[in-house]
Amino acid sequence: MRKASVERKTTETSIAVSVNLDGNGEYRVATGIGFLDHMLEQLSRHSLIDITVEAKGDLHIDFHHTTEDVGIALGEAVAKALGDRKGIVRYGSALAPMDESLTRVALDLSNRPILVWKVDFRRDKVGDMDTELFKEWFQAFAQASGATMHVETFYGENNHHIVESCFKAAARALRQAIEIDPRKTDAVPSTKGVLGGSL
CA dist., res. 57 & res. 63, Å (int): 8
All structural domains of the chain with their residue ranges: 3-178
* Residue-level pLDDT at 189: 67
* Residue-level pLDDT at 106: 98
* Residue-level pLDDT at 186: 80
* pTM exceeds 0.85 for this model: yes
The tens-digit pLDDT sequence of the chain (199 residues) is 899 999 999 999 999 999 999 999 999 999 999 999 999 999 999 999 999 999 999 999 999 999 999 999 999 999 999 999 999 999 999 999 999 999 999 999 999 999 999 999 999 999 999 999 999 999 999 999 999 999 999 999 999 999 999 999 999 999 999 999 988 778 776 666 676 754 4
CA dist., res. 23 & res. 38, Å (int): 19
Closest by CA position to 179, among listed 75, 41, 86, 59: 86
Selecting from 3.30.413.10, 3.30.70.100, 3.90.1150.10, 3.30.230.40, what CATH number does the domain 3-178 have? 3.30.230.40
CA dist., res. 82 & res. 59, Å (int): 31
Q: What is the secondary structure of the chain as a DSSP string?
A: --EEEEEEE-SSEEEEEEEETTS-S-EEEE-S-HHHHHHHHHHHHHHT-EEEEEEEE-TTT-SHHHHHHHHHHHHHHHHHHHTT-TTB--EEEEEEEETTEEEEEEEE--S--EEEEE---SSSEETTEETHHHHHHHHHHHHHHT-EEEEEEEE-S-HHHHHHHHHHHHHHHHHHHHSB-TT-TTS-SSTTSSSSS--
CA dist., res. 189 & res. 52, Å (int): 28
